[in-house]
Structure 1
């Protein structure tokens, strides 16, 4: 299995070094199948979001940038000593930018509050109930208009988890971006406080410190903290990451991660290395991620354990650029 993973990484990296004239890796017959479906769904996303925005907002809804999207992904996962697994995820966001108070309707099958501990998130593994679609949420976010490079950008949201009985939630998110000194270093902060009726309170914070090394490479230090009432312990992770753009359609990430918990008596639960290769398979609407990982978990006496994830993702949006979360 180790040789297979190595061959896959080498093959995709060698392919990416050649800058293709085409915007697609797909055969013509597959393009003919995908294009009509993608066009219909993207038009529906755009017309629905702009129609609702026009109803609640102004006539400018037909002209302003709208970052509504639907993202469908399919993951195939393998972990040493465990069974092969698959997972389907759907994220749908309707943006209403011209309303008096900017609103965003969110339908999410994989909200961050249901993704388990930091160790489970990092290893691509999920809690037992994560594959249960009852974790999907639908809600409304109110966005501040503040520029996060000048002030804290704050977002308030509320909604329900789609289960019976309905599970209400509220949450607040803050973001900030600073330039550090006169150099190219930047520090970005993302923080969220949430409450779900079934799970109680949770809090998470991410601090991202990085800089570009040149036109194609970017270096980052990422620190995460997380606390969940049902787990009732403070978790933390430290990541060193190098991102490199291989071509206009592909990029690769190398990362080393340390995951632990407790503030009074820190304990490291897992070390792991990963490589993530991402490629646009077709005109920036169909993407592929190849992610081999090597873990050293405490529960196996830090003996090495291999993991591998293949992810396919399709993006439906009415606007040209890819929307950001």
Structure 2
């Protein structure tokens, strides 16, 4: 059994990979020209090692730093799983714990430069019955604006100190044709802030190319009260390989502390150019039911996302044009740059994957 890594050691291990955010080199492998239709094949391809990389001392140091932290994450997950849930007569199971480090920077003409740094840690406990998972999130997004959630954008500088949450998640439970996740945990600050969340989803085929997805979330924090998010999405495959997907989303969010509904309509086009590059295009409109009952924003954006180093480092660039209410609907061009790093020994990472969800079937038919 592995020994638990001290917290100070984990801090030191984190320092080196974080330093790579501004100086990591990209690979020189030629872009692949085709995409496998099977999502499992795509995930395996993401894990393959680029054969044309130059093995310089700096590249070796980068690889060793990544490997060291990856082993630390794996050892923590394996130790806790074996300590908490494994019986002596049970065989070993694959542990898929992982760490994601993400940095977003956004600049707009009428706004300012905003920056968001987020760490997400998922601890896998494969020996725990009924798929309970331990989730550590440095910045939960439950009470973010609906537009921020749906567009995946940074809406302003945030102080994440004390906002980390820890929760146990019961995932993959079924209620008929509904799939559910249930979280119960606590926000790690004083005074402690307990919370609970439930997410229900259902996926149904409409026609040969159209698929619908219904999602309903409810969340409750002791400090902020109740919130809900309702979402109806439609997916359309533009080609047999499903490398080009059109998506339309209608969503509504209610937060008790704001006492108003936020509404959003968005249209998106995903183009998986090859195993290293993804293009995304988005346009939409948002509104709320506050005192003004007005449109809050119009936007159009395009993004270029690339796997820039092996299977664990990704870069995204998103230019966008908005017409927000806070600037009297005057045009506000801007750009967002996102850098993500993943650390996992056994989990197959496909950060660029955009797939049409599979129809939900009852648990007895899985």
Query: In the alignment, which of 218, 221, 230 is matched to residue 193 of structure 1?
Result: 218
Gaps of 5+ in 1: 1-14
1:133 aligns with 2:161: yes
CA distance in 1, matches of 2:267, 2:190: 42
Contact 1:239 1:258 in 2 (8 A): yes
1:161 aligns with 2:187: yes
CA distance in 2, matches of 1:279, 1:132: 27
CA distance in 2, matches of 1:234, 1:63: 45
CA distance in 2, matches of 1:260, 1:26: 50
1:88 match: 117
CA distance in 1, matches of 2:261, 2:179: 25
**Alignment of structure 1 residues 153-232 onto 2, 5 Å:** 153-181=179-207, 183-214=208-239, 215=241, 216-232=243-259
The normalised TM-score by structure 1 is: 0.84
2:60 match: 32
1:62 aligns with 2:92: yes
Using a 3 Å threshold, how does the CA distance of structure 1 residues 95 and 124 change in structure 2: closer, same or farther? same
Larger CA deviation: 275-284 vs 16-25:
16-25
Query: In the alignment, which of 231, 235, 242 is matched to residue 269 of structure 2?
Result: 242
Contact 1:17 1:247 in 2 (8 A): no
Bigger proportion of residues as strand:
1
Q: Secondary structure at the match of 1:97?
A: coil
Using a 3 Å threshold, how does the CA distance of structure 1 residues 87 and 299 change in structure 2: closer, same or farther? closer
Question: What value does the CA root-mean-square deviation take over the aligned residues?
Answer: 2.9
CA distance in 2, matches of 1:226, 1:61: 45
CA distance in 2, matches of 1:263, 1:93: 37
Using a 3 Å threshold, how does the CA distance of structure 1 residues 314 and 26 change in structure 2: closer, same or farther? farther
Report how far residue 23 of structure 1 moved: 6.5
CA distance in 1, matches of 2:66, 2:78: 18
CA distance in 2, matches of 1:61, 1:207: 42
Gaps of 5+ in 2: 1-27, 34-48, 352-366
2:364 match: none
Larger CA deviation: 155-164 vs 268-277:
155-164
Count of aligned pairs between the two proteins: 304
**Alignment of structure 1 residues 305-324 onto 2, 5 Å:** 305-322=332-349
Deviation readout 1:253-286 (Å, 9 max, x if unpaired): 0010111122999632110011111100111200
CA distance in 1, matches of 2:161, 2:329: 33
Using a 3 Å threshold, how does the CA distance of structure 1 residues 17 and 271 change in structure 2: closer, same or farther? farther
Query: In the alignment, which of 20, 32, 35 is matched to residue 19 of structure 1?
Result: 32
1:286 match: 313
CA distance in 2, matches of 1:43, 1:123: 30
Query: In the alignment, which of 287, 295, 302 is matched to residue 268 of structure 1?
Result: 295
CA distance in 2, matches of 1:307, 1:220: 23
Larger CA deviation: 189-198 vs 233-242:
189-198
The normalised TM-score by structure 2 is: 0.75
Report how far residue 91 of structure 1 moved: 0.3
Larger CA deviation: 66-75 vs 195-204:
66-75
